Structure 1
Amino acid sequence: MTLPVCSLCEMPDSQWLLSYTEADPTDESTREALLTLGNGYFATRGAVPEASADGVHYPATYIAGVYNRLASEVHGHVREDESIVNVTNWLPVTFRPEGGSWFTPGGYEVEHRHEVLDMQHGILLRESFVRDPEQRRTRIQQERLISMNRFHVAALRTTITPLDWEGTIHVRSVLDGGVRNDNVAEFAELAKEHLSEPAKGRHGDTYWLACETVQSDVCVAQAARTLLHRDHRPALAASLPVEGPRSVGNELSFAVSPSVPATVDKTVTVFTSRDRAISEPLDATRDELADTPGFETLRDEHFLAWEHLWKRFHLSFQGDDGTVERRALNLHVFHLAQTLSKHTADLDVGVPARGLHGEGYRGHIFWDELFVFPILNLRVPELTRALLLYRYRRLPHARRLARETGATGALFPWQSGSDGQEETPRQFYNPRSKRWMADNSRRQYHVDHAVAYNIWLYYQVTGDIDFLAAYGAELLVEIARFWVSIAEHDPEDGRYHLRGVMGPDEFHDGYPDRPGEGLDDNAYVNIMAAWTLARVLEAHEVLGGHHTEDLWQRLGVTPGELEQWDRVSRRLHVPFLPGGLIGQFEGYAELEELDWDGYRARYGNIGRLDLILEAEDDTTNRYKASKQADVLMLFYLLSAEELGAVLERLGYDFDPASIPETVDYYRSRTTHGSTLSSVVYSWVMSRGNREGSWELLREALAADLSDTQGGTTREGIHLGAMAGTIDIFQRCYTGLETRADALRLHPCLPDDLKWLDFDLRYRGHWLHFQISHEQVLVRARPGAAAPIAVVVEGQRHMLGGGDRLVHRLAQKPGHSSFFS
């Protein structure tokens, strides 16, 4: 018998579709991460509904902000880890012909399989042709969505068509609470059971299940209904209850005929005890389910919500390579938009480094928001505001952590979870040596700089002085106090020094003879400390002393303290290499050079050089070798003009002409062991090496799609790197800055990038940009917001609602005009 044509195979190649055909057990878990659907409140990996966690598949659902802490005994030591929780699996739907076996992975022969993530509509499509052990052939078509409109709702439509048989079919649908955290091989020895014994029940065609996290006592409740449809109408089916030790559901039985499709719709609602405006989560799930419409209405509402989202996140471009880069960029926007949405804003959560897509880093919050907020600031600034409040609410723990280090002020942890205490483990596992290695990354105090930078960038984009007065100033003051309290004054050189810290490069946690004790005067840390102190002083000036006198009194800010901040901001030490380039840290020049060619020849990918050297009983602390950009983060965050101003304030000469040499020096000594590294290098090379910048951007766009980190994508996408690629198009190649109460543009498109077209929100205006090699066009939508300053190539323009600005750029040979 010839199989019918797969409808998904007939879909044309598109920048909006991520498509997979056939099965690949080695790649399945990575695909599941990339096919994740979510809405900012919760997300579900793209596992097939008939699968369970079996080493190949890993169905999992994560709810933003739901963490739990467990103790584990590893090699005779007890450790505690807080992790995002894999909650009840709502997906399971499978079938069997009367007298046959249930459809499970490996139980049936799969003659054809096709999955398509439709990013434009936020829906996951699947079509399979399978043959059971009795040689009966069946077609399975599925549509899955997690509603972007009704954020407590998910739905799965399954259409089953017998191809060469008839009789009775049984469809089983359950909620499975028998899940645990088992997504990361490195955590195999750690405790995994985060959920209590569930409470279960049913009434009519509705069934429900509720569990509590065993330590944090968060109740997670789900309710579901499963209904049969024929010819787009509800149909009757015999229904029997299904119940296991930790599961509940039902089994529908009905007659089927060859080539006649039968559709089963599963609708699920999800609530937790952390939700607002509810009495009790289980009651809320049942009430919400009773009010939830059928699949078609849900789908239409969901499509409309995504249509509006894509208008807000609109960014298109034309390059030389067709749809490959555009698809990758759309995928990155898609995952950012469904991890952090308007539904996230009310949840008191941060930016999870691996999205809601897996258990990598235990779902913790790092500094990745530094790469994410520039996108949100210019699209959904109200979401940035809410996410910054995650940090503000955790100031008590940040103050406590500062005191524990012997300092004052506030020190935000390198890894944060539910309450803001330091969650960074003391060890991590090296699969090469089979040994546990010391993890000293909690010395990355520069997460404070990220928080300060994010506050100031948000203020510059929005002009939200109320936020600055109510929350931002307090955060900035406490961060300033921390840096000043750990700065050591050396009367011999008249400089202040910051000792015992780590920079962004995680390969160096100390000196060869003092591993784990941190470094002295990391250039990134010191220069950004000076920048932060200057911004706190600027905030004091912006807010003034009269109307906010109570603020400064409440915070205990005195004239003497302001003078101290100013003094330290002008006298921090910055190390330089013998040739005059900025040194990564004091003593960097004395480290050994690595045999780069030799290690690449022996190991190929040396991104995780730290693991390689530890397995050889060596250490990266001995070498001029970096995992990712460190000094070069300065060029990523600050324009040459801004960086020059900071260094001048510190009393150092800085020649912007040295930037390309600095980039080349550190590029040749970097392994790119972090997905963020290619993003940063692409950015800092954008003006001195446009072709190289474009190639690195392409690598960054492919990082998760091709799992270039060698198995990490299955543990969750790299949200910061995804956002960083978007920002290269949005701010880097356009030279877009928001500072000194103006929006500034200085385009520098690579030759392979013909034009950019996008929309941004700045100080109450929605602006449409069209930028090519020849010109910049900016249109402001009609509105009542005050006119804004737009500076293009140094020329200042005022733009009001409904105004249009055209600025011709210096012509380059070989480029034709695109915009009129």
Structure 2
Amino acid sequence: MIETGTMEQMLRPTADPAWLLATEGYDPLRESSFESRFAISNGFLGVRGGRAATRGARWVVPARTYVAGLFDKSDAQHAIPELIPAADWMKLRILLPGGALIQHPGDVSSHRITLDLQRGALLSECSRLKAPDISLRLRTLRFVSLSDRALGLQLIQLEIEEGEVEVTLEASFEGMNLGLASVQIDQHVGVWRTEHSGKSIAMASGSSLQVDGHDLFGTALGQLKSSWSWKTRAGQVVCFERSVAIVRSDVEAFNPAAAAIEKLGAARQLGWHGVTAAHEAAWASRWLLSDVLVDGDASVQQALRFAIYHLNSAANPGDERVSIGARALTGADYHGHVFWDTEIFLLPFYIFTWPEAARALLMYRFHTLDGARAKATRMGWRGALYAWESALTGAEAAPAQAIGPDRQVIPILCGSQEQHISADVAYAVWQYWQATGDDRFLREAGAEIILETGRFWSSRAKLEADGRRHIRGVIGPDEYHEDIDDNAYTNVMARWNVRRALDIAALLHERWPECWQSLASRLDIGEAELKQWRIVAESIAANPDPKTGLFQEFSGYFELERINLADYAGRSVPMDVVLGRERTQKSQVIKQADVVALLALLPNEFAGETGAENFRYYEPRCDHGSSLSPAMHGLVAARLGQSEKALRYFRKAAAIDLSDTHVAIDGGVHIAALGGNWMLVVLGFAGLSLRDDGIGVDPQLPAAWRSLSFGVQWRGRSLKIRIDQEKNRLEATLESGAPMMLVVGGAPPRELRQGNALQVDLSAELAPA
């Protein structure tokens, strides 16, 4: 039974405009970018934000549905794995005596799409669809459930404004053979499989339709297709709802159809209103733990909500076999592959607001550890070298070549040379353990990752005649410079990785000797190897110039051509396109934060004023040719007290996905840039940091912000922090968990207890910037 009044309420967006993102009309140049921006996802299912109304023959691209982990190759041996789209389960046509009611895109000046960030739902409204003898108003809602990730829901309401004609509503699936082979398609369920990867999915669907509150029985047309026919009249209200349940199978022997049918049956019994209530409750819970409130800058507030919405949409704590690709489940750029983006730019958000999701993402790296070991062995080293681009197994998925802007074939060396990924994964494992105290994860997975990546670096750094160990032939985060030696980011992170591996070995030996004995035996780690690691950690070439305090980005960097990027202000393409690849490689132009990224991740490596000196040197040399770069620069600027500059970097990063002057997001949102902006605000402006006994906060807010509020999870505790700039006061409340310590600025630690809110006078406690 569809309750018309309840559906009327459902089809209205959240009243508070601060939670809404909307667009009106139709712009053919930006339509695919809007589909990325308005995508809905739950970490298992992702649906691009395509229009839901009836489409004509000249607008046939389906609203792509992506299923996490559904990878396949175009051939068994040579191609790289790609994320394969599933069928669009929301196709709808309105058939009139003269043919289909066509909504031509260019004619839809009154069409409005609204992303309701608070409810995790996409709504659309067309004030008038008109054809001979009929005029109607159409409103829709869709979501994929955050409560039960197998489920999706589509609601449509038609209000007949004028016309008495025979009409048929036809609901079907579209794009059922886009890279998948069909195994079974009947009235209510379809099963498809990949050709090479052994994956399959089942999609079960059920629909109902009411006219003026009365059920109308449909006609089964087979192959996930049904129709309903009736005669319209002015004032008539038609309500349509469709549920879908999608199940992925990872083994060829298991047919997921029965599981999908069972999921759908439970959803139909609960009813669409029950499915909706559970979904909205799950989103309310996520926002309670992850929302960030900025008073004094409405544009920053909306950009943050947009970022947090997509971050909450991207993760699935219930599946340890998948991770988050560079575009999450909002598009197919980079083939859905997983990069260092996840560990460096996304994990901080999950660690501090959703530890269960962070754990699952790190378990993906544990499950792909054998692939990392195999890559290291193949390249002649020990330990684990993670794939630069990862999909299912951890085998390297980076393509070997690409076509450049000049249509020339360009070799891609990242898969073999961008090796800092192993230290990045280890860094995320350590940060997660430090923040959560999840000792079980450390013993069962995290320790092995850190030990094996530490072992890799110990074999990778080679002793040379100068008595130092060098790491040659790599690519750092600055991908404009390839096949370089002693990249500062790579070397310092490698040294950090080896030192943490030694710490882990000592910790396990002391606290869990049986665990250490078992793990050391299985990995064949003896005291002689640990001694060698200590030597390696002390001799890697990874130190700043003793006179200037500058880290040289890589050997020979200081001798390269200096190019004043200010002379190229206003360009619309990266500098490697302007200068050409060859000249760019011989210049000091940097693609993205490299030494600056090191300053963000390991600030203790920069003594005294050397952090500010390195930032001052490298910032003007960076052209931000990667979407990852602005937020990382902003984070460092905020920590250095350069809050207004940091705010400009925030706006630059936010514009990548939110500005209508950008059309480069047709392949999906830049999820790492969104995670980076959360980092910029919480780790930068608020100055949140991890300590052994608690957390630290060192606020550096932009001048116009009146206050900043956010929540933090730390070792089983939940706390809220509010920085009131007008009153120059910090308020901290421990909402759950045992007492803990909070350090504000350079002041001594303070104890936080439940029921006793802490207030700190910032004017008295903040250390000089």
Same fold (TM over 0.5): yes
CA distance in 1, matches of 2:13, 2:347: 38
TM superposition shift of 1:465: 1.8
CA distance in 1, matches of 2:247, 2:621: 49
**Relative to 1, partners in 2 of residues 1:579 and 1:279: Cα closer, same or farther, differing over 3 Å?**
closer
2:761 matched residue in structure 1: 808
Q: Is the 8 A contact 1:770 1:778 kept in 2?
A: yes
TM superposition shift of 1:574: 3.0
CA distance in 2, matches of 1:55, 1:696: 38
Q: Does 1:196 align with 2:181?
A: yes
2:4 matched residue in structure 1: none
| Residue number among 472, 475, 478 corresponding to 1:499 in the alignment | 472
TM superposition shift of 1:112: 1.2
2:46 matched residue in structure 1: 43
2:275 matched residue in structure 1: 298
**1:221-264 residue CA offsets vs partner (Å, 9 max, x unmatched):** 11112211234x45124525155xxxx31121112211211111
| Residue number among 695, 698, 702 corresponding to 2:655 in the alignment | 702
| Mean CA deviation greater in 251-260 or 537-546 | 537-546
**Relative to 1, partners in 2 of residues 1:392 and 1:196: Cα closer, same or farther, differing over 3 Å?**
same
CA distance in 1, matches of 2:704, 2:423: 34
2:299 matched residue in structure 1: 324
TM superposition shift of 1:61: 0.6
1:213 matched residue in structure 2: 194
CA distance in 2, matches of 1:436, 1:53: 36
1:75 matched residue in structure 2: none
1:744 matched residue in structure 2: 696
CA distance in 1, matches of 2:195, 2:98: 40
**1:11-31 residue CA offsets vs partner (Å, 9 max, x unmatched):** 867110001111111111111
| Residue number among 552, 563, 568 corresponding to 2:531 in the alignment | 563
**Relative to 1, partners in 2 of residues 1:196 and 1:80: Cα closer, same or farther, differing over 3 Å?**
same
Q: Is the 8 A contact 2:93 2:171 kept in 1?
A: yes
TM superposition shift of 1:420: 0.6
One-letter amino acid of the counterpart of residue 261, structure 1: V
Q: Is the 8 A contact 1:123 1:145 kept in 2?
A: yes
**1:699-729 residue CA offsets vs partner (Å, 9 max, x unmatched):** 2122211266x53311011111111111222
CA distance in 2, matches of 1:52, 1:521: 57
TM superposition shift of 1:56: 8.5
| Mean CA deviation greater in 328-337 or 218-227 | 218-227
| Mean CA deviation greater in 281-290 or 476-485 | 281-290
Mapping 1:375-524, distance limit 5 Å: 375-430=349-404, 432-442=405-415, 443-492=417-466, 494-509=467-482, 518-524=483-489
The number of residues matched between the two structures is: 746
CA distance in 2, matches of 1:313, 1:157: 28
1:532 matched residue in structure 2: 497
Q: Is the 8 A contact 2:211 2:236 kept in 1?
A: no
2:123 matched residue in structure 1: 125
> SS at 1:519's partner residue?
coil
Mapping 1:36-185, distance limit 5 Å: 36-49=39-52, 50-51=54-55, 57=61, 59-71=63-75, 79-106=78-105, 109-134=107-132, 136-180=134-178
Q: Does 1:263 align with 2:239?
A: yes
2:714 matched residue in structure 1: 762
**Relative to 1, partners in 2 of residues 1:32 and 1:529: Cα closer, same or farther, differing over 3 Å?**
same
One-letter amino acid of the counterpart of residue 89, structure 1: D
CA distance in 2, matches of 1:52, 1:30: 20
TM superposition shift of 1:53: 10
**Relative to 1, partners in 2 of residues 1:260 and 1:165: Cα closer, same or farther, differing over 3 Å?**
same
Q: Does 1:623 align with 2:587?
A: yes
Mapping 1:282-361, distance limit 5 Å: 282-292=257-267, 293-319=270-296, 321=297, 323-342=298-317, 345-361=318-334
2:733 matched residue in structure 1: 779
> SS at 2:614's partner residue?
helix
1:610 matched residue in structure 2: 576
* Aligned-residue CA RMSD (Å): 2.7
**1:94-143 residue CA offsets vs partner (Å, 9 max, x unmatched):** 2122333243545x943510111111111111111344453632211111
1:633 matched residue in structure 2: 597
Q: Is the 8 A contact 2:249 2:256 kept in 1?
A: yes
Q: Does 1:691 align with 2:691?
A: no
TM superposition shift of 1:423: 0.5
CA distance in 2, matches of 1:52, 1:568: 65
**Relative to 1, partners in 2 of residues 1:354 and 1:483: Cα closer, same or farther, differing over 3 Å?**
same
> SS at 2:110's partner residue?
strand
TM superposition shift of 1:79: 4.8
> SS at 2:722's partner residue?
strand
Higher helix share: 2
1:789 matched residue in structure 2: 741
Q: Is the 8 A contact 1:43 1:146 kept in 2?
A: yes
**Relative to 1, partners in 2 of residues 1:741 and 1:553: Cα closer, same or farther, differing over 3 Å?**
farther
1:227 matched residue in structure 2: 208
> SS at 1:355's partner residue?
coil
CA distance in 1, matches of 2:729, 2:103: 57
Q: Does 1:726 align with 2:707?
A: no
State the TM-score, normalizing by the size of structure 1. Answer: 0.86
CA distance in 2, matches of 1:387, 1:12: 34
TM superposition shift of 1:64: 0.9
TM superposition shift of 1:290: 2.0
CA distance in 1, matches of 2:243, 2:84: 22
Q: Is the 8 A contact 1:256 1:262 kept in 2?
A: no
Identity across aligned pairs (percent)? 29
**Relative to 1, partners in 2 of residues 1:325 and 1:667: Cα closer, same or farther, differing over 3 Å?**
same
One-letter amino acid of the counterpart of residue 253, structure 1: S
2:506 matched residue in structure 1: 541
CA distance in 2, matches of 1:92, 1:596: 49
One-letter amino acid of the counterpart of residue 605, structure 1: S
One-letter amino acid of the counterpart of residue 713, structure 2: R
CA distance in 1, matches of 2:751, 2:57: 58
**Relative to 1, partners in 2 of residues 1:424 and 1:618: Cα closer, same or farther, differing over 3 Å?**
same
